[in-house]
A and B are shown apart, each in its own frame.
Chain A
Amino acid sequence: MVRAAIFSGLLVCISGIAVLTLNVAERIAEGATANRDSGHWTLSQTEVELMALDVAIHEAQDAAPDQHAAYAEVRRRFDIFYSRIVTISTSDLHTELSANESFLDNFQKIKVFLFNAVRDIDGENAALAAALPDLQSQVLALRPSVRAMALAGLSTLARTTASAREQVEQTLTLVAALTVVSMLTLLAMVAVLLRMDAVNRTRRIEIEASAAHMAAIVATAQDAVVTMDGRHRITSFNMRAEQMFGLPAVRAIGANAADLLLPANQRSALRRIIDEVASHDPGQETRRQRLLALNRQGTIFPVELSISAADRPGPRLLVAFLRDLTAEVAAEENLLKARDRALAGERAKAELLAVMSHEIRTPLNGLLGTIELLGLTRLTRKQRDYVHILESAGNVLLQHVNDVLEISRHDNRQVPSVSEPVNLARLAHDVIDNQAATAAQQGSRLVLDLPATARCTVVSDMRLLKQVLLNLVGNAVKFTRNGTITLRIRHLGPDGPTEFSVQDTGIGIAPQDLLRIFDDFVTLDTSYARPQGGTGLGLGIARRAVAQLGGTLTAESRPGQGSTFRFSLALPLLGPVQDQPPRPGRLSQAGQTPALDVLMIEDNANNRLVLREMLTHLGHRVTEAEDGAQGLIAAAQRRYDLILMDISMPNMDGLQATGVLRGQPGPNAATPIIALTAHALPDEQERFRAAGMADVLIKPISMTQLDDVLHRVCTASVAVGDDPGQSLTDAIMARRRPAFIAEAEDLLARIAALAAEPDANDQTCALVHRLAGSASLFGADRLATRLALIETHFKTGNPAAARTEIADLPWCWQHTKCDLINSDAPPGTVG
């Protein structure tokens, strides 16, 4: 816009000047030469010369005829006049004046006179003398004509002069006007240029400010800012870059970026990145990359590079930001190390617990077992009292050990929750029965509040649930005297959760203690000082167990009025179920089991003693073996009804021996083997079962336990198979199948995902174990067997084999699922 104005202004000026120049040149050319001689002089001289002729004629008339001079003078004056007229007629003047009619007429008259007079003039003197009077009168008559001609010529000349002057005036005016216009245009252009200059100045200031702003940003940036052109040459290098690389900017600028800043093995990577970014449109591609950089001292350090092409016209400009990651990488490594340490610590702790558990249990077994045996002997009253004290103290100690172990297992997530059918009514009754005696001793009453529908079965973990309820009810009993303890189970809505609550009318808990009581090792001081103090872990275990089951344990209390402990669980209902005969009570049923020939393989002498005494007391025959090898020798010699196999033995442990027994033909290849172990972990128990053991006895072993197991094992060997799935009706099975299928698929997916991670073996194994339980529950025996095999692989330290098997699971599952969906058949026939 401005440019157009300037150019048009320039054009006006130039054309104006051209016109001016042409015009002026014309005028100059005109003025340079005089067109003609002075017209005024010529015209007036004509009159003068005529008058001179007149005078000459006059004088000649007065002179004597022999006065030749006078006639010469007449002739001369005539010639002069004549030549004047001739000159006028041939001159430019004539051309100019010929426009005037008066001039022409009079001029014609003069020419006529001359023409007539010539004859006389050129004649002899005598003829001339005679013609003189006539000439005189002619001249006299001519004088007005000459005058008129002169005047006419004058007026024409005046007009001509005037018009010439006007032309000059016009030209000068034009010159002036064009000059003014040119001047104005030039001034306008100057004004425009000045304004442009001012604008440019302002812009320049703005640009400088902006550039300074940018420069300040780049200079103070915490990242290194390196710019380069499309040929990888560095074009700028900010202060942070200088610091980072130990290079002054002057050295960096112009150098090849990859060669200067990176070690040799990283250079091609950077070059590739730069080329990729450079080949895209600006602003479209930003590449980030972790690289190793090299500084002047030769130190290699990690950097994060972020590079993109700048969006501006002109040659390619690439901008790279480099962040020194040394600190971050170090922090990452520290974090990893800390994590590894923590994990290692966790593992160590778990191992410690496992080991400690074993180490403590083993002597406890000896202790408690012996105390029990002692109790069977004949004792004095005082001795019996002492035995009671020993027994209760021993049990407390055992309880403590169990509690601590339980807490640590919960915390180390080693407590898998099982999904099995649980009859809530029966469970509740068991709990009440358990605590009835103790409550009676306190003068308190136990009340069970169940809705009619509580007679149904839910899917949950019986052990955990029982543990929680026992704990809560036990606490309630402990802290209530002559009061009422109510165990309440309620279903909230048809599909709602199940609420469990234990309410007592005991001493209550102060508000400031309500939160504290859940903390580990916290017991509240009570006026009912009991010989049995608590470890303070009971509520901690209960809380963890409830959390494991999927709920939250809460407490409410009013000091002096009582407390209520509550939790809700989402327990899927299995529908009403037939009552099952209650399980056998705790009381010993000595003598129910027929006398057995028992082979005991145990390395610990004390334990052997205790066990032998117990077995003998129960009426069985015992053969002892001190270790695995001896046990095998004994087993090869004759058939036994039962083998009690200690697990932890030197040289050959129980599992190995079992494996040998089961693997080789011999008299005891099919003899039921019961594991004796201090390892209380259910996973371990599963291991034993998988190895071919019928059951597990956990040390310390009580006689009652021993009797139970013996009874169970021996009757079970006659029974078809202790498949808990058979106790469910077909209807329940059918109803629960979809849920199982969903659960199984979920677990399989998780197993498959975890199987890929080498660190997750324990988790994978736990999931496999859980699924195995559910699978056998729903009669998917083949699947369950497979899962058990996988579990064994994990536990025998062969994760590779386990993974191979896991890889086959989907195929196996497809078949199982197919069968499950298509089948309404009774359990046991499902593959």
Chain B
Amino acid sequence: MFRLISSGGQKLLKVVITGLAFIASFATGALAETPLPPLVTEPMLAITGLDESRFADGTLLLDSGRLAAIDTTRLTTTTPWTEGPHEFTGVRLAALIDFLGLSDGVLVAYALNDYSVEIPVSEAAPDGPIIAYAIDGQPMTVRSRGPLWVIYPFDQNPDYRSEVTYTRSIWQMNRLEVRP
């Protein structure tokens, strides 16, 4: 087939096919097929325990660029640990779960200060928590509870104002482990 078409046509065809594939991947939501941009900065999140057929060693490293590529959501809410409402920018947990191709199980989140908590995959509702990496447009430093902080939309859904949810609002998160 390729031989019959001219080189210019071949280039065009590649672009078209890539574009279609890209569009198709959106249509099916199979974000998994879409390759992530390569790591640029220091990875801030390591996800382990993934399906080894898709991810090498079942591990996925994500930096801010890659996170942004998966999802960029802005959430304004107050929290028990902050004064007043702040705008958090991050990845919806639901988007991440979709990207990872998970449907059930548990995500065990670990933080820099050795805190860890289990977040069930069912927590990942479309209007549920986000994994925030920026607060008020500024990336979060460790001192300001970065690199990652699981923020629930407390203001939008008072049901999240419970003890269990508070334990799941892990900050200084740097690792996620997928458990079935």
Contact = CB atoms under 8 A, between A and B. Distances in A.
5 contacts: A34-B166, A45-B113, A76-B142, A83-B171, A90-B83
A624 interface: no
Interface in A776-804: none
B144 A52 contact: no
B158 interface: yes
Contact of A83 (B142, B161, B163, B167): B142
Interface stretch (A35-43, A186-194, A223-231, A538-546): A35-43
- Report the contact-size class of chain A (Cβ under 8 Å from the partner): 20 to 34
A38 B166 contact: yes
A86 B113 contact: no
Interface string A352-396: 000000000000000000000000000000000000000000000
A33 interface: yes
B158 A32 contact: yes
A37 B144 CA distance: 18
Given A34-B166, A52-B113, A79-B141, A91 B81 contact: yes
A830 interface: no
B112 A76 contact: yes
Interface in A5-63: 32-38, 45, 49, 52
Interface residues of B, number: 21
Is chain A's binding surface mostly helix, strand, loop or mixed? helix
B55 to A, nearest CB: 27
Interface in B100-156: 112-113, 115, 141-145
A38 B163 contact: yes
Given A32-B158, A49-B113, A83 B80 contact: no
B142 A79 contact: yes
Contacts of A76: 112, 142
A446 to B, nearest CB: 151
B162 interface: yes
Contacts of B167: 38
Nearest to B166: A37
Among A34, A35, A84, which residue has the most Cβ atoms of chain B within 10 A? A34
A83 B143 contact: yes
B82 interface: yes
Nearest to A84: B113
B172 interface: yes
Interface string A75-95: 010011011101100111100
Contacts of A35: 80
Contacts of A36: 80, 166
Contacts of B141: 79
A42 to B, nearest CB: 9
Contact of B172 (A32, A33, A83): A83
A80 B113 contact: yes
Given A45-B113, A86-B145, 13 more contacts: A34-B162, A34-B166, A35-B80, A37-B81, A79-B141, A80-B142, A83-B172, A86-B144, A87-B81, A87-B171, A90-B83, A91-B82, A92-B80
A37 B80 contact: yes
A310 B51 CA distance: 101
Interface in B59-112: 80-83, 112
Contacts of A38: 163, 166-167
A76 B172 CA distance: 11
Interface string A446-462: 00000000000000000
A86 B143 contact: yes
A34 B142 contact: no
Contacts of A87: 81, 145, 171
Contacts of B145: 83, 86-87
B76 to A, nearest CB: 16
Interface string A89-123: 01111000000000000000000000000000000
A35 B166 CA distance: 10
A90 B86 CA distance: 12
Contacts, number: 57
B139 to A, nearest CB: 14
B143 A33 contact: no
B143 A79 contact: yes
Given A87-B81, A90-B81, A91-B81, A33 B142 contact: no
B161 A33 contact: yes
Interface of A: 32-38, 45, 49, 52, 76, 79-80, 82-84, 86-87, 90-93
A82 B80 contact: no
Contacts of B144: 83, 86
Nearest to A118: B143
A780 to B, nearest CB: 133
Contacts of A37: 80-81, 163, 166, 169
B158 A33 contact: yes
A468 B144 CA distance: 163
Contacts of B163: 34, 37-38
For A76, A82, A83, A92, the residue with the greatest tally of chain B CB atoms inside 10 Å of its CB is A83
Nearest to A36: B80
Nearest to A33: B161
Contact of A90 (B82, B169, B172): B82
Nearest to B84: A90
A39 to B, nearest CB: 10
A92 B81 CA distance: 7
A90 B83 CA distance: 5
Contacts of A80: 112-113, 142, 172
Nearest to B86: A90
A91 B112 contact: no
Contacts of B161: 32-34
Nearest to B158: A33
Contacts of A45: 113, 115
B35 to A, nearest CB: 31
Contacts of A34: 80, 161-163, 166
Contacts of B82: 90-91
A86 B158 CA distance: 25
A86 B145 CA distance: 9
Contacts of A92: 80
Nearest to A77: B113
Nearest to A52: B113
A95 B39 CA distance: 42
Nearest to A114: B143
A256 B80 CA distance: 89
A38 B162 CA distance: 10
Contacts of A33: 158, 161-162
A726 to B, nearest CB: 146
A34 B172 CA distance: 22
Contacts of B112: 76, 79-80
A512 B159 CA distance: 133
A107 to B, nearest CB: 15
A87 B167 CA distance: 14
Nearest to B140: A83
A91 to B, nearest CB: 4
Q: Point out which of B143, B162, B166 has the most chain A C-beta atoms below 10 A from its C-beta.
A: B143
Contacts of B113: 45, 49, 52, 80, 84
A35 B163 CA distance: 9
Contacts of A49: 113
A75 to B, nearest CB: 8
A49 B80 CA distance: 20
A82 B162 contact: no
B10 to A, nearest CB: 50
B174 to A, nearest CB: 10
B167 to A, nearest CB: 8
Nearest to B111: A80
Nearest to B145: A83
Contacts of B81: 37, 87, 90-91
A80 B172 CA distance: 8
Nearest to A89: B83
A68 B161 CA distance: 41
Contacts of B166: 34, 36-38
A733 B67 CA distance: 164
A37 B79 CA distance: 10
Contacts of B162: 33-34
